[in-house]
Every structure is written in structure tokens, then in C-alpha cells.
A = this chain, B = another copy of it.
Amino acid sequence: MEHRYLENLPLSKAKALLEDHLRSVGFAPKTELLPVQDACGHALKNAVYAHICAPHYNASAMDGVAVKASVTFGASERTPVTLRPADYTVVDTGDPLPDSADAVIMVEDLIDKAGGCYEIIAAVHPWQNVRQVGEDLCMGDMIAPSHTVLTPALCGALLAGGVTGVEVIRAPKVGVIPTGDEIVAPTSDPKPGDIIEFNSAVFRGMLEGWGANVTVYPITPDKKELIRAAVETALRDCDIVLVSAGSSAGRDDYTSQIIASLGTVLVHGIAIKPGKPAVLGEACGKPVVGLPGYPVSAIVVMDEIVRDLVFAAAGKTAPPRQTVSAVLSKKLVSSLKYREYVRVTLGRIGGVWSASPLPRGAGVISSFTKADGLLVVDQDCEGIEAGETVEVRLLREEAELVHTLIVTGSHDPLIDEVADLLQKSGAPFRVCSSHVGSMGAIRAVESGLAHLGGVHLLDTETGEYNKSYVEKYFPQGGVVLKKGVGRVQGLMVKKGNPLGIRSFADVARVRYVNRQRGAGTRILCDYLLAKNGIDPAAVDGYHNEEFTHTAVAALIAAGNADTGLGIFSAAQIYGLDFIPVCTETYEFLVDERYKDDPMVLSFFETLRSDDCKKRLARMGGYVLED
């Protein structure tokens, strides 16, 4: 087996190489002629001048009568002037003035007299109540210079100025070619080894958000000639070609070779993490980018490289990234080899943003959906200490983040259900929940990183839940413990319990899957092991740690383990048998500063609602006394 290594070019150098090369081969925006009505949001190729004046005739600005101003001169309350039918013409707003007239008297100022006459008690001056020719726009005036992005109002001004069509920069066409033998079109029932092709949907969403016109080509297997043919087709149809997966240097990674055979490979391997195995090249005068197969890696390459290409091809400048300054909640180590993109969640407590890093796995798309922002750690930075202030690129609108209730701590699906009920009721905020275990909840509330912390912490001495932990970790107070639910913990085992597990003591003879340190369920496990006199070191799988009840259930269902502790609803979802072990008290730590916060009050109100009780009853395993 051979192994080739990639380059490790700093991002700025990689971008400069691509941009300089594209300039040298004349890569430039394409234009098209569009009716003005269809051109909103496009950039103009050239300056546009008004063809006609607006208004293009002298128009009445009021409903009333058009007159020669001179016939009204001298009119006053003492010396009213009478207008005979020959003196005036009735006009509505927008009507053209007769050639003889140069002013309009408003209908409100006319006094009806016999014989179609009107009396007036005030004169009008020439051009009063008239929109003279060119009041809005004058023929020959530049309405907008080259490259202006057309707004709705500009489209209106162009039409008002008699411009009906404009040459604009066409939305760039971007072709996405998903490749891979193992990837399959989206399905809810994939076979083992099938990888659901979802990256192209992510790319399409990003590209369309940047204004591109996207074609996703059919999935192409890992055959060099087939991928080459697909790239050639895409090069004919599109302005920018993206090849998804196959961008590294493994056995089936052909992107780089194909680009080289059709044009020029400029970069293969960028010093970014995730995102290193990217290929930047050019063929037929167009950029061809090889995107890594891991979704998060690909998203980073899309955002750092492809975004600028798309905006440049649309004749626009990419909008500046929205950022906030945040205090880093825990130390972050980073490699000098890479510029790193760390997904973070953001919390705003006491007017200060704090950023908490999420796991960095490149294959974990859900980490991107949970992230509020990206912390970019420069290549020359070895790490950042907790408490330092960092700039975070926002992945959500700041306003949305401000209106977020942060619930952290022990995993329980009930939090998601409450969040959903709140959304359904139109609550003006969202709930952000993260699973950091019960001890994580204590730390988060202690450091002001969360409004609420879900805890189920067994005091192994008293058998009581939570209370003693609060006393220990919050000796000065500052938190309130709010009633949550009672829930049943138990051992989950395969349907039919093939290994005949009867009680916790049996854990010693089978493969176990554990929860992470700090989880309430881990504390329960350790307590039960001690109680049963089992040495943790003797438990096969004691170090196999998962973060949620469903993750434990999933591994048991998959056969990676034989049993693990968890809640009833997780077992039910995976069709597992459930051996109850105990009933515990799941409660919420509330930062005292927030106990009357409308978001917190709504949360508990919803938790107590009948709708919520119904959902918990359906999930099973909850004890609702209160």
C-alpha cells in the first residue's frame, strides 16, 4: 500500500495562487441582458443613464384644476377670483398639464359656483402643484455606475428613466459533482457501507445563498475516466466546477490527477483544519475545486475559497463576515501546522458573549448545526487560554443568539420536546441545549455560561439527588433548584435479552458501553459498580464513553456493546429490552439572576403543560408527580 503526502500551503498563499492564475487566464464575470423587472439583485455591467426625464411631461401633483398661474394673481379673501370653465381644466394627480397651463389649484381650495365656475381666495405661483419635467430624473443623468448591485428602488428608477433592459453580470453557474463508489442518493434505508450523499445538498444551499445557479450532477463512481468525463461536461455548462470527495491522495482519489490532465493543479493540500485535503485548479479557463469528502472539511473550504470565487464571478464583493467578541470558556490547544476552524456555541450572560468550543470531528455535520459561530485560530497560534477574548464568526444572526435560552447539562430528550412546544407556541426565543453531563451543568451555571442546567446527581452517601451537590458547589448560593421530572434508569439490552442480564452485577461479564465522566449516569454506574464490588478495570468497555442515552442505545443495537445504563425512552426507540435499575430525580439548576427571566418562566410553564405531559407519557419512563 502506498501513501502519498499532500502539500500544506497557508490559506492566503493558496488563495493568491488560485486568484492570480485565474486572472492570468482571463476568468471574468459573464453578462446577460435582462428586463429591468428581472434584474433586481444583479450587478450592472456598465453605468446606466436615464433615457428620458421622469416625469417626462409636466404632471399635476394634485387632484384639482390646471390653470395659467397669472389668472389667479391677486386672489385673496377680500378679492376672490372667479375661474370660468375656459380658465381651467380638471386634472387628477399625474395628469398632464394642458399647454396653456402652468399651475394646479387643489380641489380642497375650490369653491363651487354656478355655471361651472369656481371661486378661489388665494393665488398660485407658476409651477405650483406641478411635477415639472425631470423633477425625479433627467435624461442623460447617470442612474447608477458600473457594477452597482440593483436594489428594488434602483430598478424603479431605471424604469422611470425609460430604461427597459440592462446588461448585468449573470449569476455564476456552479456545477457540483458528487463522487464515490460507496455514496448513494438520499434514502431513509441505506445498506451497511452506503454513505448517504448529503454534501451536495449542503453545497447547494451555501451556493444558492451566495447567489449562484447550481447544478448537482449525478453521483459518479470512483472511476477516473467517468469522473473526468463528468468534469468535462460540467466545464462546458458551468463557470465554476466543484468535485466532491476524492480530493486527498488515497488510492481512489482522482480529483487532482483529473484536473492536472485537463488543466492546471495550483494547490493540493491547504494548511487548514478541517479542510486540508483540497485541490485548487483551473481547466478551460475556469476554477475547478476538489472538496474533501468529510462534510465539515468541505464546508470550511467552501466558505474560505469557493465563496469568494462565486462573489467575484457575480461581479460582487462578498459581504463582510459578522463577528462578535467573546470570552473563551475553556482553553483551546491548536496546531502550528494549521489554521484551525473551531465550532463554538455562544452564550450571552451579563452582556458579555462567551464562546464554548464544540468537538472538532470533521465528519460530524451535526456539530455544524449546533454551532453558533466559528473561532478561527491562526496558523501561528499554539492555543488560546480560557478567559481570553476572541473574535467569533457568527453562523447565526446576533439577534437570534441574544434571544436564546441556554439549557445545558445532562442529556434528556424532554428538553428538546419542551423546546419544540415553545417553538410551536410562537415563543420569541429559541432553546439551545447541549449535553455536557450533570457536572458540566454545575460548571456551566457556576461560570454563567447557561441559564439552566439539567442535573440528576446521586449523593451516594444519602441516596438523595442534587441537593447536596448544590450545597457543595454553590456555598454562597446564587442558584435555585427547580423541580423537573422523575425518570427510570435501567440497563438496556438486545431484544430478548440474549445474554440473560438480570441485574447490574451482570455488567462484569458482558461488553459495557459507558457514559462520559461527569454525567449523572456515569456517577450512577460507578456507584452501582462499587455497591456490587466490581472493579471498573475489569469491565470490558468501561472506557467506551458516549454522551447521550440514544448513543448508548445505538451501540447496543449495533452490537458494539451488550449493555449500558440509560433511560427507558432511548431503549424504546431502538427496540431494546430495558431492565429498570432505579428512579432518579432530574432537576434544573437555575442561575438566580435569571429565575424571573421571561424565557426561563416560559420554559417551566411549558414543562408543566398538559402538552408536555402527553409527550412524556408517549415517550415512557417518566414519573410525573407534580
List residues of chain A with CB under 8 Å of any chain B CB. 1, 3, 35-37, 40-41, 46-47, 51-59, 61, 63, 90, 92-96, 99, 102, 107-108, 110, 112, 125-127, 131-148, 150-160, 162-164, 180, 182, 186-190, 192-193, 195-206, 208-209, 216, 250-252, 293, 295, 299, 317, 319-320, 361, 363-366, 368-369, 395, 397, 399, 413, 416-417, 419-420, 422-424, 428, 430-431, 541, 543-544, 548, 550-551, 553-555, 557-560, 569-570, 573-574
In the complex, the count of this chain's copies comes to 2
Most interface-central of A51, A363, A431 (chain B CB within 10 A): A363
Give A570's nearest chain B residue, CB to CB: B140
| Also in contact, A127 and B544, with CB within 8 A (given A142-B413, A186-B37, A198-B156) | yes
Residues from chain B with a CB closer than 8 A to the CB of A570 are 140
Which residues of chain B have C-beta atoms less than 8 A from A206's C-beta? 152
- Whole-angstrom distance between the Cβ of A152 and the nearest chain B Cβ: 3
Knowing A56-B190, A190-B56, A416-B47 are in contact, say whether A61-B423 is a contact too (CB < 8 A). Answer: no
Q: Is there contact, CB below 8 Å, between B135 and A361?
A: yes
Which residue of chain B lies nearest to A550 when distances are taken between CB atoms in the complex? B138
User: What 7 pairs across the A-B complex have the smallest Cβ distances?
Assistant: A152-B205, A159-B198, A140-B573, A134-B554, A40-B205, A138-B550, A145-B420
Q: Which of B47, B145, B204 contacts A37 (CB 8 A)?
A: B204
Let me know if A188 and B164 touch, CB within 8 A.
Answer: yes
**Residue on B with the closest CB to A199?**
B156
A369 partner, pick from B35, B110, B144, beta carbons under 8 A: B144
Q: Across the interface, which residues of B come within 8 angstroms of A196, CB to CB?
A: 54, 159-160, 162
How far in angstroms is the closest Cβ of chain B from A5?
9
Write 21 A-B pairs (CB below 8 A) sorted by A numbering.
A1-B110, A37-B200, A47-B420, A57-B192, A61-B363, A92-B250, A95-B193, A126-B541, A127-B560, A132-B555, A132-B560, A138-B550, A139-B574, A142-B416, A142-B417, A144-B369, A147-B424, A151-B369, A152-B206, A156-B369, A320-B399
User: How far is the CB of A4 from the nearest CB of chain B, in Å?
Assistant: 10
Q: Quote the shortest CB–CB distance from A114 to chain B (angstroms).
A: 15
* A574 neighbours in B (Cβ, 8 Å): 139-140
Q: Are A202 and B94 in contact (CB under 8 A)?
A: no
If the complex has contacts A153-B369, A193-B95, A201-B155, are A138 and B186 also in contact, measured as CB distance less than 8 A? no
CA distance A53 to B203 in the complex (A): 22
Query: Which residue of B is nearest A402, CB measured?
Result: B320
Contact A142-B420, Cβ < 8 Å, known A1-B107, A188-B162: yes
Evaluate contact between A63 and B250: CB separation under 8 angstroms: yes
A58 nearest CB across to chain B (Å): 7
Assembly CA distance A199 to B416 (angstroms): 45
B159:A201 contact, CB within 8 angstroms: yes
Instruction: Determine the residue in chain B with the shortest Cβ distance to A45.
Output: B424
Additional A-B contacts beyond A150-B205, A157-B198, A157-B369 (17; CB < 8 A)? A40-B204, A41-B208, A51-B188, A58-B558, A93-B250, A93-B293, A132-B555, A136-B366, A139-B554, A140-B413, A144-B369, A145-B419, A145-B420, A152-B202, A152-B205, A152-B206, A153-B365
User: Of B94, B361, B430, which is within 8 A of A182 by CB?
Assistant: B94
Q: In the complex the two chains form, what is the Cα distance from A93 to B132 in whole Å?
A: 73
Would you give the shortest CB distance from A45 to chain B, in whole angstroms? 10
Per the bound structure, the CA–CA distance linking A122 and B341 in Å amounts to 30
Query: What residues of chain B lie closer than 8 Å to A557, measured between beta carbons?
Result: 133
A425 CB to closest chain B CB (Å) equals 9
Q: Which of B188, B202, B368 contacts A52 (CB 8 A)?
A: B188
* Residue of A54, A125, A369, A399 with highest tally of chain B CB at under 10 A: A369
Chain B residues with Cβ below 8 Å from A189 are 52, 162
Q: Residue of B at shortest CB range from A397?
A: B319
Q: Which residues of B contact A299 (CB under 8 A)?
A: 152-153
With both beta carbons as reference points, the residue of chain B lying nearest to A152 in the complex is identified as B205
Give the residues in chain B near A156, CB-CB below 8 Å. Answer: 198-199, 201-202, 295, 365, 368-369
Instruction: Report the minimum CB–CB distance from A134 to chain B (whole Å).
Output: 4
With a cutoff of 8 Å between Cβ atoms, the chain B residues found around residue A139 in the complex are 550, 554, 573-574
Return A451 CB to nearest CB of chain B, in Å.
Answer: 17
Note all chain B residues with C-beta closer than 8 A to A135.
361, 363-364
Shortest distance from the beta carbon of A199 to any chain B beta carbon, whole Å: 7
- Check A145/B205 contact, CB under 8 A, given A140-B574, A196-B162: no
A216 CB contacts on chain B under 8 angstroms: 37
Given contacts A92-B251, A148-B423, contact A550 B164 (CB under 8 A): no
Q: Report the minimal beta-carbon distance from A387 to chain B, rounded to whole angstroms.
A: 29
Asked if residues B163 and A363 are in contact (CB atoms below 8 Å), the reply is: no
Query: Do residues A186 and B164 form an inter-chain contact, with CB atoms below 8 A?
Result: yes
Q: Which residues of B contact A364 (CB under 8 A)?
A: 135-136
Nearest neighbor of A557 in chain B, beta-carbon distance: B133
Q: How near does chain B come to A171, taking the closest CB pair, in angstroms?
A: 14
- Chain B residues closer than 8 Å to A110, beta-carbon distance: 1
In the complex, which of the residues B153, B199, B293, B361 contacts A202, with contact meaning CB atoms closer than 8 Å?
B153
Residues of B within 8 A of A92 (CB): 250-252
CA distance A41 to B211 in the complex (A): 13
Q: Provide the residues of chain B in CB contact with A162, threshold 8 Å.
A: 187-190, 196
Task: Give the chain B neighbours of A90 by CB distance below 8 A.
Answer: 1
- Please name the residue on chain B nearest to A431 by beta carbon: B145
| In the bound complex, CA of A505 to CA of B365 (Å) | 80
- Asked if B365 and A151 make an inter-chain contact with CB atoms under 8 angstroms apart, the answer reads no
A137 to B196, CA, bound (A): 13
